[in-house]
Structure 1
């Protein structure tokens, strides 16, 4: 009898990659979601879809009873109460994995390590909020629920990704940079170009979720991200290599950007203080990340087939041109 997996979510970005990884490792997969998005696995007889709202406990329990999964991957637990319901409903599975976040960490330490770097607090008000400002707080509270459930014998674990990129990324964060490199030969990067915001390839996050479900220790959290980190300037160079084009990367500091009416934070994937997660704990389970060149090539190839361009993050090319003109006079 084959292994069975229930993926809560499963049709978008990380969930989509997770289903594909599970299928590649001979799991029979059931997707549980509301069905509000196109199902890329609709024609795959190895994948079953159950429609339901994960915030409806009875619907979640019904899915658990119908599937009796060996492992559960929870891609869409955004409120602590979602995690609390899941660890109760799935208290008998071999592995329940909650997707947390590197944003759960509450201290700026390099690198951020599981069991050592403090987590964010979460007030009662934050626990029921749904804004971006409380995202990390709510993810941290979900982690604490995982830890407590494991003490009661539930095989529950958390995986904390950093910024995730890869094919089918509906956030379009990296799409902005790919679009810039594809259309211009001079690209502004903010600051000195050496900013580091740890990123992780979606396919590697997917394999981490499966490996933690199979090999992880209940009550533990595992960071995931590229094992080789690159600066924002090096990231742009990787994109150019994947596009087989040549570009000039121009670093612009706060003063130069201000002359064009811009600030470093106007550029997506810029973070003043480095955000770096240790991945050694996950690697000890046998996990490895994909080479950066391969990961970026896959990401760029899918981008070119999509209609995404990251335009919502565009600081304005005219403003950038003003900054470039100023830098050319220095």
Structure 2
């Protein structure tokens, strides 16, 4: 059975991996809408170029007809949701909004499930990211209003920390860069923080399972592995991958902060979320962290080799 799916975004990271995984599925008819800065040029994908913030470009660039699902990877504000949904031509059966676990008010303790309290305003302590989580909350609210108004089935997905292929955020690459440069990896001492992830391929596979599934309509799901990870665990896993101990530089949290060392994960408290709700629904088993990190490292090293080859050619 064919699934006609429109992906909003799809050129970067999780959206791109979703497209790649969806192409492996029988009966996938994939369309991608974005600004066209990084064309996919993949067989089996029809690309439409436009800016989602301009209603006329949504109407003109995206064809009509019936969409089994719209998967939206880049809705960061309520206006993003309203402009897209309100200007799509044709009929949409299901809208999948990719939100974030950052919408939760108090990440300490946990693991937090989907019923945990949400933010009720911006977070000034986060500086340039002060509005991110709260705007995502408002985007979720806008999606509920618009989907109810238009009779569209809504599914909200809140991924925890995503890692893996095409990751442009400085997360696992902090460790990979130091490993490649033979520099010690700074870790907090003592270790008081733990966190959990979603491997980008697992996320893509869960999203595909949601399309056309009646049990996810009207529901909100965290996407998170149940495997808690620490800085020490990351170092241990890397040592197992490369086959030798990894040199570390343990520092107190205050010293890390004073030196402005850009460690990518929490330093002195937990950041744990429960993805059990969707895992139970699909009987889904997450890829173990050591396997996902190994794949991420392989991809990282491959890109570095390509960059070096291009540099030499120039």
Same fold (TM over 0.5): yes
**What residue in structure 1 maps to residue 308 of structure 2?**
none
Q: Does 1:2 align with 2:2?
A: yes
Compute the TM-score of the two structures, normalised by the length of structure 2: 0.84
**What residue in structure 1 maps to residue 142 of structure 2?**
145
What is the CA-CA distance between 1:246 and the residue it aligns to?
Answer: 2.1
**What residue in structure 1 maps to residue 309 of structure 2?**
none
Instruction: Report the Cα distance in structure 1 between the residues aligned to 2:79 and 2:259, rounded to whole angstroms.
Output: 40
Instruction: Report the Cα distance in structure 1 between the residues aligned to 2:121 and 2:170, rounded to whole angstroms.
Output: 28
- Mapping 1:35-114, distance limit 5 Å: 35-37=36-38, 39=39, 41-42=40-41, 44-66=42-64, 68-89=66-87, 92-108=91-107, 109-114=109-114
Q: Deviations over 1:225-254 (max 9, x none)?
A: 223121121012222322333214443223
Going from structure 1 to structure 2, the CA distance change for 1:191 and 1:60 (only over 3 Å counts) comes to: farther
Instruction: Report the Cα distance in structure 2 between the residues aligned to 1:62 and 1:98, rounded to whole angstroms.
Output: 22
Root mean square deviation of aligned Cα: 2.6
Instruction: Report the Cα distance in structure 1 between the residues aligned to 2:143 and 2:174, rounded to whole angstroms.
Output: 35
SS in 1 for 2:131: helix
8 Å CA contact retained: 1:233, 1:249: no
- Mapping 1:228-247, distance limit 5 Å: 228-247=227-246
8 Å CA contact retained: 1:164, 1:199: yes
**What residue in structure 1 maps to residue 310 of structure 2?**
none
Going from structure 1 to structure 2, the CA distance change for 1:184 and 1:61 (only over 3 Å counts) comes to: same
SS in 1 for 2:70: strand
8 Å CA contact retained: 1:198, 1:226: yes
**What residue in structure 2 maps to residue 295 of structure 1?**
292
Going from structure 1 to structure 2, the CA distance change for 1:28 and 1:255 (only over 3 Å counts) comes to: closer
SS in 2 for 1:58: helix
What is the CA-CA distance between 1:208 and the residue it aligns to?
Answer: 2.2
**What residue in structure 2 maps to residue 210 of structure 1?**
208
**What residue in structure 2 maps to residue 13 of structure 1?**
13
**What residue in structure 2 maps to residue 280 of structure 1?**
276
What is the CA-CA distance between 1:34 and the residue it aligns to?
Answer: 0.7
Compute the TM-score of the two structures, normalised by the length of structure 1: 0.81
SS in 2 for 1:285: helix
Unaligned runs of 5+ in 1: 309-330
What is the CA-CA distance between 1:122 and the residue it aligns to?
Answer: 4.5
What is the CA-CA distance between 1:170 and the residue it aligns to?
Answer: 1.1
Q: Tell me the matched-pair count.
A: 296
8 Å CA contact retained: 1:181, 1:240: no
Q: Deviations over 1:45-92 (max 9, x none)?
A: 201111111112232234553463211110111111111233434694
